[in-house]
Structure formats: C-alpha cells, structure tokens
Amino acid sequence: MKMTNSIKLTAVTLTATLGLILAAAAQDAAGTMPPASTKAGVTYATDIKAILDASCVKCHSGDKPKARLKLDTLEGTIKGSKDGPILKAGDSANSFVVKSVAHLTSDHDSWMPPLNNKAGIKPLTSEQIGLIRAWIDQGAK
C-alpha cells in the first residue's frame, strides 16, 4: 500500500512535534532558568530588597553572615561573598546568584535557599527570579 504525500507529511509533523515535546520535558526535568522580567526600572530598593529580606537575609546578614555574604544592603550584595562577586551586572544568565536561586548549579549545597532549611524558607518563584534577572540585566542599581 502506498502512502500519500499528505499522510507522509502528517507522520513527519507528528514525529517532529513529539520530539519537541520530549525535549521540552527533558529540559524542564533538568531545570531551566526563568526568563528575566520585562519590568523596566528594577532597583534593589524598590524590587529586590523585599525578596532578599524574605528569603535570604536570615542567613546572609549581621556580624557573621554565611559565606561572608551580606544581602541586606545593595553594597553587600554587589560586593559578594568570601569567594568573590555573586553577580555580573548586565549578565544575569551568567551570575552565580541567579543560578543559585534557580537551583541550576551542580553543587546542591549552593542552592539558595537550601532545600529543607530549618527556617522553612521556600524556594524563590519564577517571578522573583525573573525580577532578580531583570535587576542584574539593567545594571544592578
């Protein structure tokens, strides 16, 4: 029995679609970086401080902040940790802090906030990560 061109085209289209669906599912299982927010004029004071206060400063502030990373001020956030800067202004996709809060680092100990933390702090939402990305992409001001 001969296949018509329309049946062949349908089979190819279905195969390609299934391949895309499977690839997307595999990418989601591996974790993806949420897109940057489209909000303009994102600043530490107006948008980011509240996120960090709720999810990060319990461990990253005060006299003995973990990893010597103080996230309770813009200056401390820009300075970074004992290991150096945690962000690259203008380049959120390659900023450690974004990979850390999006749980995309291979070292699960660097996922922030840590899973099953004693304070019960939940992971950041895609929207919160998107705002952090927009803030960094817009110059981290």
Q: Are residues 67 and 126 in the same domain?
A: yes
Alpha-carbon distance of 141 to 44, in angstroms, equals: 6
Pair 98, 127 in one domain: yes
Q: Which two tokens stand for residue 27?
A: 């990418």
Assess if residue 39 is contained within a domain.
no
Shared domain for 10 and 72, answered yes or no, is no
pLDDT at residue 90 greater than cutoff 80: yes
Query: Are residue 22 and residue 49 in the same domain, yes or no?
Result: no
Residue type, 26: A
Q: Which domain holds residue 78?
A: 44-137
Q: What's the pLDDT score for residue 1?
A: 53
109 shares a domain with 77 = yes
> pLDDT category, 7, cuts 50, 70, 90?
low
Identify the band that residue 2 occupies on the pLDDT scale cut at 50, 70 and 90: low
pLDDT tens across 93-138, in order? 999 999 999 999 998 999 999 998 888 999 999 999 999 999 999 9
Residues 118 and 65 placed together within one structural domain of the fold: yes
75 and 108 both lie in a single domain: yes
pLDDT by residue (tens digit) across 62-84? 999 999 999 999 999 999 999 99
My answer on whether 130 and 99 are in the same domain is: yes
* pLDDT above 50: residue 29: no
* Domain total of the chain: 2
Query: What is the pLDDT confidence band of residue 6, given thresholds at 50, 70 and 90?
Result: low
The DSSP-derived string for 81-109 is BTTB-S--TT-GGG-HHHHHHTT-SS-GG
Tokens of 110: 């660097």
